[in-house]
Amino acid sequence: MNLLNHIGRYFILLTRVFSKPEKLKIYYKETIKEIDKLGINSIWIVVIISVFMGAVITIQTAYNTENPIYPKYLIGLTARDTLLLEFSSTIVALILAGKIGSNIASEIGTMRVTEQIDALEIMGVNSASYLILPKIIATVFFSPFLCILSMFIGIFGGWIAGVATGVMTSQDYIYGIQYAFIPYYIVYALIKSAVFSFLITSISAYHGYNSYGGSLEVGQSSTKAVVHSSISILLFNLVLTQLLLS
Amino acid sequence: MIEVKNISKQFDNKQVLNNISILFEKGKTNLIIGQSGSGKTVLLKSIVGLHEIDSGKIFYDDIVFNELNFKDKKDMRKQIGMLFQGGALFDSSTVEENVMFPLDMFTEMSFEEKRERANECLKRVNIINANQLYPAEISGGMKKRVAIARAIALNPKYLFCDEPNSGLDPKTALVIDSLIKEITIEYNMTTIVNTHDMNSVMEIGDKVIFIADGTIWWEGTKDDIFDSDNSELNNFIFASKLSQKIKDLKNHH
């Protein structure tokens, strides 16, 4: 019953979020700010995660395909497909759920407990829309860029690790990442990435918006935001995979 | 003028407001006093619509505020200014941006016009050379004054203040009280102030309403307080030895 209650309240909040904005110019400005805060500021963490993900996938694949019947280019192919299909969208989203999710929940939660949201409401501003819509637009718009960046950096990380450890040659890896390439995998990853961003932002905003009490409750909301966003990502990963790849 | 008629509100089966009726007059500072937990903040938040009331009516002049739909309520709120206990300034905006916010949102003024109006309001509350500071960089008293400046930016008809003096030293509290009083007269607003600061009552209480356990126990002016025989009110107002002494002195004269 509690879960149904939360889902109901989440959708009620979304109807307020997607109602007509008071002033488009202000929302546009806020969206640009959020792109900087939530998107641009996440580039470094995505780069670091991706380079190591690519490196680890390459080395693990190399040690699991030591049998001479497996061609060496298989390492590059595996690294590419693993990154495209799963890591650059899902794993990056899970990491961003921690970074962006906690940021959004604590920011909105603090605004709630310090009565800043009440102040917006008193002025006649639709606080849900003003605070949440720019964040949703910013992350849904920017996450595909982060996903593509992660793909490139991950594949590059795999190449560096593979060549540096001597598990394969540069030519094998480059041949592997070009071999049997299916462009639709990129579309699939970008769709997932946009959906996951929507989930992270809206769920975290919901928890922040419904924080009551003090700093302890804001902390709890932040934790709930990360946990619930991560679970939703995993659930929707399964659903989207079935819908888009079957 | 704001009038509440027979309003009641309960949370989780606990009756917080019980059939309250009050008339708040225009151009006067109307004070709601009472102990912590007496229902003052719930009453104030119910009047501005942050809490839905269970029964009764809230009139803003001739308009029944609590029966308005979401959109009309939103429009109505443009005529309301509110000063919150902690100021509720937007942390990520400067002092000037905070005051300009309602103008950005609801007017078609140019940037220069908005800036001029914001500076006018800031000057009115005696804030100078702090436009580019963030709320975290200014004192509690300044925060309250900036919040007043933001509240009056759109020339509201109604002003609500929730514990405007909490956390302030007596001298700064006096400054805030005087500002509220002056602005009320200057803009001919209906002002409602929630407080348990007795200095405020004596300074600006044109009309004083004493609430206990969600019901009205007494109402009158600040001058009527000394002559009241309401024991609950006397226990609350003259709780300290100092205030008891003042009352005795006044009675002797």
* Tokens 């966003």 found at: A229
How far is it, in rounded angstroms, from Cα A138 to Cα A103?
14
Average pLDDT over residues A146-164: 96
**Chain A hits for B84, Cβ within 8 Å:** 115, 118-119
**Chain A hits for B89, Cβ within 8 Å:** 116
Residue A204 makes CB contacts below 8 A (sequence gap 6+) with A97, A100, A101, A102, A103, A104, A105, A108, A225, A226, A229
Please give the pLDDT value at position A60: 95
Please give the pLDDT value at position B128: 85
How far is it, in rounded angstroms, from Cα B57 to Cα B54?
10
The predicted-structure confidence for A183-204, as pLDDT tens digits, reads as follows 999 999 999 999 999 999 999 9
> Could you tell me the CA-to-CA distances from B243 to A12, A84, B31, B34, B236 in Å, in that order?
51, 75, 19, 16, 10
Instruction: Count residue pairs from A and B with Cβ separation < 8 A.
Output: 55
**A82 vs A23, residue with greater confidence:** A82
Mutate which: B84, B97, B157, B160, vs A, most A CBs within 10 A? B84
Q: Which of B76, B69, B55 is nearest to B2 (CA)?
A: B76
Whether B88 sits inside 8 A of A119 (CB atoms) is: yes
Please give the pLDDT value at position A22: 82
Interface residues of A toward B, Cβ cutoff 8 Å, are 22-23, 26, 110-111, 114-116, 118-119, 121-126
Please give the pLDDT value at position B202: 84
Contact B73, B50 (CB under 8 A): no
Above pLDDT 70, what percent of chain A? Answer: 100
Report the DSSP beta bridge partners of residue B208: B31, B220
**Chain A hits for B45, Cβ within 8 Å:** 118
The predicted-structure confidence for B237-249, as pLDDT tens digits, reads as follows 777 777 777 777 7
Whether A118 sits inside 8 A of B88 (CB atoms) is: yes
B215-220 and B207-212 strand pairing? antiparallel
Alpha-carbon gap: B196 to the closest alpha carbon of chain A (Å): 20
Average pLDDT value over all residues in chain B? 88
Whether B91 sits inside 8 A of A110 (CB atoms) is: yes
| Residue among A26, A116, A124 whose CB faces B77 most closely | A124
Please give the pLDDT value at position B242: 72
Residue B97 pLDDT grade (very low, low, confident, very high; cuts 50, 70, 90) = very high
Mutate which: B75, B98, B106, B159, vs A, most A CBs within 10 A? B106
Please give the pLDDT value at position B5: 94
ipTM confidence score: 0.85
Please give the pLDDT value at position B241: 73
For B6: left if phi > 0, alpha if psi spans -120 to 50, otherwise beta; the answer is left
Mutate which: B91, B100, B155, B166, vs A, most A CBs within 10 A? B91
Whether B82 sits inside 8 A of A116 (CB atoms) is: no
Please give the pLDDT value at position B129: 87
Examine the pLDDT at B170 and tell me if it is beyond 90.
Answer: no
Per-position b or e across A161-187, b if 16+ CB within 10 A of its CB: bbeeeebbeeebbebbbeeeeeeebbe
How far is it, in rounded angstroms, from Cα A38 to Cα A96?
9
Examine the pLDDT at A228 and tell me if it is beyond 90.
Answer: yes
**Chain B hits for A122, Cβ within 8 Å:** 48, 50, 77, 80-82, 160
Alpha-carbon gap: B165 to the closest alpha carbon of chain A (Å): 16
Contact B165, B195 (CB under 8 A): yes
The predicted-structure confidence for B185-219, as pLDDT tens digits, reads as follows 988 999 999 988 888 888 888 899 999 888 998 88
Residue A175 pLDDT grade (very low, low, confident, very high; cuts 50, 70, 90) = very high
Whether A122 sits inside 8 A of B50 (CB atoms) is: yes
Examine the pLDDT at A230 and tell me if it is beyond 90.
Answer: yes
* Tokens 């400046």 found at: B149
How far is it, in rounded angstroms, from Cα A147 to Cα A156?
14
Alpha-carbon gap: A115 to the closest alpha carbon of chain B (Å): 5
**Chain B hits for A125, Cβ within 8 Å:** 105
For B115: left if phi > 0, alpha if psi spans -120 to 50, otherwise beta; the answer is alpha
Average pLDDT value over all residues in chain A? 94
pTM (2 decimals)? 0.88
- Phi and psi at residue B93, to the nearest 5°: -115, 150
Cα torsion angle, B142, B147, B148, B150, sign: positive
Alpha-carbon gap: B49 to the closest alpha carbon of chain A (Å): 8
How far is it, in rounded angstroms, from Cα A196 to Cα A134?
16
Average pLDDT over residues B138-143: 91
Alpha-carbon gap: A50 to the closest alpha carbon of chain B (Å): 32
Residue B253 pLDDT grade (very low, low, confident, very high; cuts 50, 70, 90) = low
Residue A139 pLDDT grade (very low, low, confident, very high; cuts 50, 70, 90) = very high
**All structural domains of chain B:** 2-222 (3.40.50.300)
**Chain B hits for A114, Cβ within 8 Å:** 86, 88, 91
> Could you tell me the CA-to-CA distances from B4 to B8, B33, B43, B125, B172 in Å, in that order?
10, 16, 10, 30, 32
Q: Which of B109, B196, B99, B87 is nearest to B152 (CA)?
A: B99
Residue A1 pLDDT grade (very low, low, confident, very high; cuts 50, 70, 90) = low
Residue B85 pLDDT grade (very low, low, confident, very high; cuts 50, 70, 90) = confident
Of the listed ranges A63-67, A72-76, A106-110, the least confidently predicted one is A63-67
| Residue among B78, B84, B90 whose CB faces A124 most closely | B78
Average pLDDT over residues B75-93: 90
For the record, the structure tokens of B77 come out as 């709120």
Q: Which of B184, B7, B3 is nearest to B83 (CA)?
A: B184
| Residue among A26, A114, A126 whose CB faces B88 most closely | A114
